[in-house]
Amino acid sequence: MEREIVIRMEELTKLYGQQKAVDSLSLSVAEGEVFGFLGPNGAGKTTTMLMLLGLTEPTSGTVRVCGFDPARDPLKVKKIIGYLPENVGFYEDMDARQNLRYIARLNDIPDRVSAARIDKLLEEVDLAKEAGKKVGSYSKGMRQRLGIAEVLIKEPRVVFLDEPTIGLDPDGTNRMLELIRSLSRERRMTIFFSSHLLDQVQQISDRIGIMIKGKLVAAGPLAELAQRGLGLEEGESYTLEEIYMKYFKEA
């Protein structure tokens, strides 16, 4: 069965002055897929995401999210996507529940619908006990989990996560990865996430893209990258790190 393409980028380019932050990027992601976007600092991962969200305009090229152009139809895109920025902020003097309710209201979800969803989400991200505390007192990990809850409150079709595991302890990281995985498996959400932590990307991604200095140097399932990048046959062992380092040295 052919799956629907939800994210499509063609020859996408973003210039900052003379610098090419993203250089003719072509890529598509199918529905329900977990796409891991890998790259060193300054590779252009965040910039790509901003263009997908319509938060910055591409210099050239096309972007489509569920068939809509984020620059021309921003509201249609924003209705169906959830975005976790790389350094998510909250209204510090409100508690978790109030922050979530505000986001729900901005999405035109009535309070009586959101109340039940909020309770369920707080359980899911393990914040139910701290839900009444002001967010100002939250630790980094709690903030990150609250950020995920805010993304999910509107039940999006496509989720963009910019370095979702940054600042989490090993246990928190594993639970975050499990949650991301289940979003795709159980709720058929499409996940586009960025990271520079190789083993995490390896663990949960259906497909992986490696971006270096604005260029997408490789994209595909892990096994395929290994075959093409390292010239390995099926059955031989490899790690994503070897593949990544190879591309990194080439670039």
Partner 1 sequence: MHGILTIYRKEMEDHFSSMRFLLIAALVVMIGVIIASMVGMSMQEELWGVAKPTFVFLMLFTSTGKLFSFIQFIGLLGPMIGIILGFDAINRERSGRTLSKLVSQPIYRDAIINAKFLAGVTMIAIVMVSLVLIISGLGIRLIGVVPGAEEIWRLVIYLVISILYISFWLGAAILFSVVFRSTATSALASLAVWIGLSFFVGLGGGFLADAISPIKQTADMAEATSAFVKNAEIQRAASLFSPMTLYGDATSTILDPLRKTPRSFVLMGPLERFSLSRFQNPLPLGQSVVIVAPFLISLIAITLVCFGICYAVFMRQEIRST
Ligand X SMILES: Nc1ncnc2c1ncn2[C@@H]1O[C@H](COP(=O)(O)OP(=O)(O)OP(=O)(O)O)[C@@H](O)[C@H]1O
Cα distance between residue 91 and residue 136, in whole Å = 8
Cα distance between residue 106 and residue 95, in whole Å = 17
Query: Based on CB atoms, which residue is closest to ligand X, 134 or 196?
Result: 196
Query: Based on CB atoms, which residue is closest to partner 1, 24 or 59?
Result: 59
Select the span of 3-11, 89-97, 195-203, 237-245 touching partner 1 (CB under 8 A).
89-97
Minimum distance from residue 232 beta carbon to partner 1 (Å): 38
> Binds 58, which of ligand X, Mg ion, partner 1, none (CB < 5 to 8 A, cut-off by type)?
none
Select the span of 49-57, 58-66, 219-227, 236-244 touching partner 1 (CB under 8 A).
49-57
Cα distance between residue 164 and residue 3, in whole Å = 26
- Restricted to residues 159-198, the positions that interact with partner 1 (CB under 8 A) are none
Q: Is 121 in the site for partner 1 (CB under 8 A)?
A: no
Cα distance between residue 94 and residue 134, in whole Å = 5
Q: Which residues pair with 215 in a beta bridge?
A: 212
Q: Is 107 in the site for partner 1 (CB under 8 A)?
A: yes
Contacts of 34 (CB under 8 A, 6+ apart): 180, 181, 184, 191, 193, 204, 205, 206, 207
Q: Is 102 in the site for partner 1 (CB under 8 A)?
A: yes
- How many residues are there in the chain? 251
List of residues contacting partner 1 (CB under 8 A): 46, 50, 53, 55-57, 74-75, 78-79, 81, 83, 85-93, 102-103, 105-108, 150
Write out the residues near ligand X by the rule CB under 6 A: 16, 19, 21, 39, 41-47, 86, 196
